[in-house]
Amino acid sequence: MSAPFEERSGVVPCGTPWGQWYQTLEEVFIEVQVPPGTRAQDIQCGLQSRHVALSVGGREILKNSNFFVCVFFLEDRKMVRIVLTKTKRDAANCWTSLLESEYAADPWVQDQMQRKLTLERFQKENPGFDFSGAEISGNYTKGGPDFSNLEK
């Protein structure tokens, strides 16, 4: 099964007990579902250059380090969105898990994430090509992508 490339809406989410996370070449997005009506003062979010900690209503949701944290938002009083910026070293890499081996993507989701990021990287590196109908075929983790259907 191949994942079609859609620049903005083609995210490949990895579900978690508290919500989901997904990634682009340069950023990782964490979406935490919180009880409807949650207020900003109910959220404790520690954001430092390489550390993230999130508690909602006194309940710890996330706690880990090794990130460059960008920003967090409370959306519609029911979801917290945290945006992490990948380091330059990690920018081209597909993360296999969110927090140092926690919330790992299953093999199928990991494969789909890798396909999406590969297409995103090729689009960025080759702006003259039309990637609107591009797909990666075959098993990405065995043998690499096939771009034979691309047109300039």
Show the tokens assigned to 40.
């900003």
CATH 2.60.260.20 assigned to domain 5-133? The reply is no
Percent composition of the chain: helix, strand, coil (DSSP 3-state, to 5): 15, 40, 50
Q: What is the pLDDT of residues 94-127, one digit of tens each?
A: 888 887 778 889 999 988 898 888 888 888 888 8
Q: What is the pLDDT of residues 80-103, one digit of tens each?
A: 998 888 876 666 688 888 877 788
- Stretch among 6-10, 49-53, 67-71 having the lowest mean pLDDT: 6-10
Indicate the pairing of strand 51-56 with strand 59-65. antiparallel
